[in-house]
Amino acid sequence: MDRKAVAEHLRALGIECLTEGLEPYGRDETMDLFAAPELVVRPRSTPEVQEVLRLAERDGIPVTPRGGGTGKAGGCIPVRGGIVLSLERMNRIREIDASNRFAVVEPGVVLWTLHEECRKHGLLYPVDMSSGGSCELGGNLACDGGGERAVKYGTTRAQVAGVEAVLMGGEVIRTGGKLRKNAAGYALHHLIVGSEGTLAVITEATLRLVPLPPFRKTLLAAFASLDRAAHAALEVEAKGFPLSAIELVERAAADLAQRMLGVVLPHPGAGAYLLAEVEGFQGGRTEEEIEAVGSALLESGAEEVDVAPREKVWAVRHAIAEAIKKLPGYSAVDTVVPRTRMPELIRRAHAAAKANGIEVVCFGHAGDGNIHVDFIRREASDPRWDPGIGPAVRAVLEATVALGGSVTAEHGVGLLRRDDLPLQLDPATLAAMAALKRAWDPKGLLNPGKIWPQG
């Protein structure tokens, strides 16, 4: 494209364009993935997004939507050049409707900023994740982000009551709204959420809120082995306790985070930990429930169970991904399997690492079977990494699918898992998805090169 002409045209309309300092917009948190944008456009409103997409459709310019850049699948990397459409300046919380319990937000709102605003009204937006201080809601919507509270509340899609979105060509659609029931036509907002910016650009979302539970307790349970901890998570969850989170952390993963933070968890000799959390509206009942969960954990093989200093243990859990990013190399595999197959997946992940001479750490959301299998490289000069990482990742993906799982749980397909999708989906299913893409974006200009193996 004629970058200068496009920038001049958009600037004349009052739309901010960047032609220098673009390097950060060519990457996300996926290691070793980069593609340079030709132009970065940072709109402030829906009409400005419309203008960008009208121009792009007319001139055949690829457009890659971008949120906070915290993704781990290369979903916002502009592999075809063109325009990066950064929604970071569309960061207003338009409304907290406390009476009806909805939030109306723009895509550039940071997740924990929404949490803070909801808390002022005694409300909770249920989705939470380790990157909450920097990830933006638009990216959460694009990938149907999950996080630790998904075991109780579901993923992002379950919280979305409606969206406003702009199609290629500039047309605005609105689907859903501040309604608890709505059977009028197709629920297009459920299609747009999780489509990774390939169908439309979300410019507003209406999100469900819940009352904020005033009481919350977290247990830290120490286990001799990762396998025992994984089985215990299944056993405890199967008893029907109202857990708001149950997280599995391998000791090697916890050690990385502790070293970065300069803290030490209790029971440092444990092979693995479970973090189990209960929340409620009655203090006495919450205490009874957390005691019952603690007893169940001990019955399931925990060596020690403590009521944990909540901020400290969650800080360690949330810091694991950041600590891994500081290593010389890593490759994250975002797996999910039926919960009962989780221990087998973990065993296969460690077997794949051992067979290829590399190291793996496992951690994640044990309550819904979403385990982050992260292969790590502690030394840049390790000669086993380059020949071993590809086969190890492939072995884990094949094991995941064989166990009835998905090659991505909450990070999205993006660029990283694009060529792995046929492991999970048959040709007819892929063709049906591609047909939807053609119907919404006939020229294939919106976030091109993502999801489908053919690009």
Distance, in Å, from the CA atom of 229 to the CA atom of 223, rounded to the nearest integer, reads 6
Q: What does the alpha-carbon distance between residue 320 and residue 283 come to, in Å, rounded to a whole number?
A: 31
Residue bearing tokens 């053919």: 454
The Cα–Cα gap between 151 and 103 comes to 22
Is the full-model pTM beyond 0.85? yes
**In this predicted structure, what is the pLDDT of residue 260?**
97
**Which distant-in-sequence residues (6+ apart) come within 8 Å of 343 by Cβ?**
227, 230, 231, 234
149 touches 127 (CB < 8 A): yes
Please state, in angstroms and rounded to a whole number, the distance separating the CA atoms of residues 343 and 364. 13
CA 15, 16, 20, 24 torsion: positive or negative?
negative
Ranges of residues in the chain whose predicted pLDDT is under 70: 454-455
Interval 106-132: pLDDT, tens = 999 999 999 999 999 999 999 999 999
Q: How far is CA 329 from CA 321, 378, 379, in A?
A: 12, 7, 8
Q: How many CB atoms lie within 10 A of CB 123?
A: 19
Query: What is the model's pLDDT at position 1?
Result: 87
- Angle at 409 (CA atoms; ends 408, 414), nearest 5 degrees: 45
Domains and CATH numbers, the chain: 3-86 (3.30.43.10), 93-211 (3.30.465.10), 215-317 (3.30.70.2190), 327-439 (3.30.70.2740)
Provide the token pair at 50: 């419309």
Burial class (CB in 10 A: 0-12, 13-18, 19+), 172: middle
Task: Name the residue type at position 269.
Answer: G
**Dist CA 43 CA 90 (whole Å):** 7
The tokens describing 443, both together, are 């020229």
Closest CA to 79 of 63, 93, 60: 63
Whether residue 368 contacts residue 419, with contact meaning beta carbons closer than 8 Å, is answered with no
Distance CA 92, CA 52 (A): 20
pLDDT at 455: 45
Contact 178, 97 (CB under 8 A): yes
The whole-number pLDDT of residue 452 equals 85
The answer to whether residues 51 and 170 touch, using CB atoms and an 8 Å cutoff, is yes
Provide the pLDDT for residue 269. 92
CB 65 within 8 A of CB 197: yes
Q: How far apart are CA 408 and CA 82, in angstroms?
A: 27
State residue 454's pLDDT score. Answer: 61
Distance, in Å, from the CA atom of 254 to the CA atom of 312, rounded to the nearest integer, reads 12
Q: Looking up tokens 């750490």, which residue turns up?
A: 361
Q: In whole angstroms, how far apart are CA 395 and each of 56, 347, 348, 375?
A: 40, 12, 8, 12
* Separation of alpha carbons 379 and 400, rounded Å: 28
Q: 410-433, pLDDT tens digit by residue?
A: 999 999 999 999 999 999 999 999
- How high is the pLDDT of residue 451? 94
Q: Is 38:3 a contact under the CB 8 Å cutoff?
A: yes
Mean pLDDT of the chain: 96
